């Protein structure tokens, strides 16, 4: 069960809490809430204003007044940290409108630029990464997380470090890297346990246990998942207000379903739903699905179908995820058994649309979408159904043929793309792309904005690049950004930054130019080299194919290698 954004939100709420825990005084004979809301905000400290925001965040009129008071006072005092905190309040107010909230994260980053603070600018990049992940801009999200992690590590902010690595693990899971995600959750749990910080970072601890259990469920290690869920529930109930209790109950119900303990599964899932109104983080649709599946196992089909219908009503293209797909296949089977052809056709048509949109959305990611209810079989049954009711609905027939054709085309393209184009090589290249895309495509605007390198670090990398060129390591034909960074004992982000600024080109052009310069040198000095075939020349200077070599040569010299050799011979 990949419950992506709810877990991230837990961390956002946690890091948003004020550093100093301030309890609000109460008026005699009055409640704390009455004092907090009615008393003038002008005399409240920043800590008190943050506390009021957390207590009354549902009161939009009051919160709007509070947020403006906070930011105006912070700007008047020229306190950059409190200005950033003020922008964060506006971020929290607009968190469900990511495009608006992004502007406030940028403001947090800009106002704290150059500041060395426990929370900033790491927090701005963390929250920005979260929003970009919600908007499915995964390359940009990863870049923002990595920058946040760098600042958090410099300032030794453990809360931020765990939150960032947790979010990166969720991102990896989104990209189908479930084993890598599991390893990150295990490392986070070990860090929390060995540092004796479970009480201090209890929300982090519980969220990590919850994601660990989801991962082990995914790998069908149900007993291990059950072990971590019990620890999470015990920790959630051990202090005051439970943390993530609704989500834990949902995961516990899913795990109980897999362990075939259907009575416990039913009780846990129902209780989770009853608490979900108090917790905005619970994935209600996933809970509906497994409650429906559990009720089917308990021979309570009518009640089960009721929950599956709720998913059918709630799911549309923007919020469709693969985990809810089974609800539609179960409904198709149900309507087929009941000979309800109209609803069977309706759900089939909707599922084909949803699958088509999901394929388009993820075609650039290395996600191998495996569906229990195979699309080819689905289309075949759909066509049979169309044939049986074609005299009743010609318009629907044409629509379904169209969507069926689109789906088959997407499946065929996906097969060709992943299996005929060497999927493993693509995945490796994609990992590099994740780390460098932002720096290559936005270097003009982020060249001096996102990452500031210490002069000593810059000089060290430049010296290593000089040795790299002198030793002609660039002639190796399997070079990637990550391999070169490892060779130079730095990371891809720093290396890309140095090449962009000091060489005025991206990594690929930098390597290609070095190779072509060497090739030209050999043409001029080495008679034997001039008699090489173009293919041999390409391999000799590090290119994997002749097309890339000729293109790079032409770009550098304005002619192809053969023409260049002829000109050299005529001199």
Mean pLDDT of 89-107: 87
Q: How many domains does the chain have?
A: 2
119's tokens: 């929370």
Q: Give the residue from 156, 180, 207 where a domain finishes.
A: 156
In the structure encoding, which two tokens stand for residue 235, read together? 């920790």
Distance, in Å, from the CA atom of 324 to the CA atom of 79, rounded to the nearest integer, reads 47
Tokens linked to 109 = 């980053």
Task: Kindly report the pTM of this predicted structure.
Answer: 0.54
Q: Does residue 184 form part of some domain?
A: no
Rounded Cα distance, 186 and 183, in Å: 5
Furthest CA-CA distance within the chain? 103
> What digits encode the pLDDT tens for the residues 277-315?
654 444 788 999 999 999 999 999 999 999 999 999 988
Residue 327 confidence (pLDDT): 92
Token pair, residue 292, equals 């429906």
Q: What is the 3-state secondary structure (H, E, C) of 272-309?
A: HHHHCCCCCCCCHHHHHHHHHHHHHHCCCHHHHHHHHH
How many residues are listed for the chain in this entry?
Answer: 571
What is the rounded distance in angstroms from the CA atom of residue 118 to the CA atom of residue 160? 9
Is 113 a member of any domain?
yes
Structural tokens at position 88? 């964060």
pLDDT of residue 515: 94
Q: Is 267 helix (H, G, I), strand (E, B) or coil?
A: helix
Q: How far is it, in rounded angstroms, from Cα 10 to Cα 15?
A: 9
Neighbouring residues of 413: CB distance < 8 A, sequence distance ≥ 6: 363
Residue 568, SS3?
helix
Among 44-48, 145-149, 196-200, the minimum mean pLDDT is found in: 196-200
Residue 78 lies in domain: 20-118+120-156
Residue 231 in any domain: the answer is no
pLDDT at 396: 55
Classify 337 as helix, strand or coil: helix
In a domain, 215, yes or no: no
| Structure token pair of residue 50 | 């943050």
pLDDT at 468 over 60: yes
| DSSP code at position 501 | H
Domain presence at residue 241: no
**φ/ψ bin of 365: left (φ > 0), alpha (ψ from -120 to 50), beta (otherwise):** beta
Closest CA to 347 of 321, 370, 359, 329: 329
Tell whether 284 is covered by a domain: no
Other Cβ atoms less than 10 A from the Cβ of 109: the count is 24
**Can you list the alpha helix ranges (DSSP code H) found in 118-157?**
122-134, 138-154
Confidence of residue 565 (pLDDT cuts 50, 70, 90): confident
> How do residues 185-220 score in pLDDT, each as one tens digit?
888 888 777 655 566 777 778 888 888 888 888 888
Name 453's Cβ contacts closer than 8 Å, sequence gap at least 6: 494, 497, 498
- pLDDT value for 403: 63
- Assign 413 a pLDDT band (cuts: 50, 70, 90): low
**Does residue 526 sit in helix, strand or coil?**
coil
How do residues 361-397 score in pLDDT, each as one tens digit? 555 444 333 333 344 445 555 555 666 655 555 555 5
Comparing 31 with 552, the larger pLDDT belongs to 552
Query: Could you say which DSSP state residue 24 is in?
Result: P
Higher pLDDT, 295 or 182: 295
| Mean pLDDT (whole number) for 225-254 | 82
Q: What percent of the chain has pLDDT over 70?
A: 73
Is 252 a domain residue? no
Query: For residue 121, is the peptide bond before it cis, meaning its omega torsion is within 30 degrees of 0?
Result: yes
Give me 70's structure tokens.
């906070």
Q: Assign 430 a pLDDT band (cuts: 50, 70, 90).
A: very low
The per-residue pLDDT for 427 is 45
What is the Cα–Cα distance from 141 to 3, expressed in whole angstroms?
18
Rg (the chain; Cα; Å): 29
Question: What tokens does 537 get?
Answer: 């020349």
Give the end-to-end CA distance of the chain in Å, rounded to a whole number. Answer: 70
220-227 long-range contacts, CB within 8 A, separation 24+: 220/258, 222/255, 222/258, 222/259, 223/259, 225/255, 225/258, 226/255, 226/259
| Domain assignment of residue 549, yes or no | yes
Report the CATH number that the domain containing residue 78 is assigned in CATH: 1.25.40.10
Question: Kindly report the CA angle at 208 between 22 and 5, in degrees rounded to 5?
Answer: 80
Distances (CA, A) of 64 to 131, 170, 245, 293, 521: 22, 32, 30, 44, 68
What whole-number distance in Å separates Cα of residue 567 and Cα of residue 571? 7
CATH of residue 542: 1.10.10.60
């Amino acid at each position: 069960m990949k419950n992506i954004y709810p877990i991230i939100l837990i961390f956002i709420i946690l890091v948003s809490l004020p550093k100093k825990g301030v309890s609000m005084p109460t008026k005699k004979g009055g409640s704390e809430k009455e004092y907090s809301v009615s008393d003038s905000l002008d005399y409240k400290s920043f800590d008190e204003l943050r506390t009021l925001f957390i207590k009354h965040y549902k009161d939009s009129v009051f919160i709007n007044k509070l947020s403006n008071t906070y930011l105006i006072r912070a700007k008047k005092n020229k306190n950059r940290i409190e200005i950033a905190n003020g922008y964060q309040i506006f971020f929290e107010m607009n968190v469900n409108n990511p495009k608006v909230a992004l502007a406030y994260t940028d403001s947090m980053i800009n106002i704290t630029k150059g500041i060395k603070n426990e929370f900033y600018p790491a927090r701005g990049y963390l929250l920005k990464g979260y929003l970009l992940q919600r908007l499915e801009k995964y390359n940009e999200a990863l870049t923002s997380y990595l920058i946040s992690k760098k600042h958090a590590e410099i300032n030794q902010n453990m809360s931020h470090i765990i939150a960032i690595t947790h979010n990166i693990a969720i991102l990896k899971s989104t990209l189908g890297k479930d084993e890598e995600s599991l390893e990150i959750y295990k490392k986070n749990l070990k860090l929390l346990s060995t540092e004796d910080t479970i009480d201090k970072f209890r929300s982090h601890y519980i969220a990590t246990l919850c994601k660990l259990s989801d991962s082990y469920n995914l790998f069908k290690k149900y007993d291990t998942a059950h072990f971590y869920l019990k620890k999470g529930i015990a920790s959630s109930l051990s202090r005051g207000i439970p943390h993530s209790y609704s989500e834990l109950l949902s995961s516990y119900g899913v795990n109980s379903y897999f362990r075939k303990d259907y009575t416990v599964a039913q009780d846990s899932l129902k209780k989770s739903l009853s608490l979900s109104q108090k917790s905005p983080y619970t994935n209600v649709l996933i809970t509906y699905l497994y409650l429906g599946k559990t009720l089917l196992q308990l021979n309570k089909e009518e009640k089960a179908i009721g929950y599956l219908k709720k998913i059918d009503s709630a799911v549309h293209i923007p919020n469709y995820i693969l985990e809810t797909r089974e609800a539609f296949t179960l409904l198709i089977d149900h309507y087929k058994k009941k000979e309800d052809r109209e609803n069977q056709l309706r759900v089939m048509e909707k599922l084909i649309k949803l699958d088509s949109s999901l394929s388009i959305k993820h075609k650039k990611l290395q996600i191998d979408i495996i569906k229990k209810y195979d699309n080819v079989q689905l289309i075949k049954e759909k066509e049979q159904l169309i044939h049986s009711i074609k005299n009743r609905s010609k318009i629907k027939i044409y629509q379904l043929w169209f969507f069926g054709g689109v789906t088959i085309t997407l499946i065929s393209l996906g097969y060709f793309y992943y299996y005929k184009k060497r999927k493993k090589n693509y995945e490796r290249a994609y990992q590099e792309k994740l780390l460098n895309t932002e720096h290559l495509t936005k270097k003009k605007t982020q060249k001096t904005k996102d990452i500031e390198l210490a002069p000593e670090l810059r000089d060290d990398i430049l010296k290593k690049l000089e040795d790299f060129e002198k030793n002609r390591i660039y002639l190796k034909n399997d070079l990637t950004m990550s391999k070169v960074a490892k060779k130079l004992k730095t990371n891809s982000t720093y290396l890309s930054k140095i090449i962009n600024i000091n060489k005025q080109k991206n990594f690929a052009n930098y390597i290609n130019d070095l190779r072509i310069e060497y090739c030209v040198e050999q043409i001029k000095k080495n008679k034997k080299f001039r008699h090489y075939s173009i293919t041999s020349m390409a391999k000799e200077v590090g290119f994997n194919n002749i097309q890339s070599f000729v293109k790079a040569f032409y770009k550098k010299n304005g002619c192809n290698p053969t023409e260049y050799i002829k000109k050299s011979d005529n001199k």
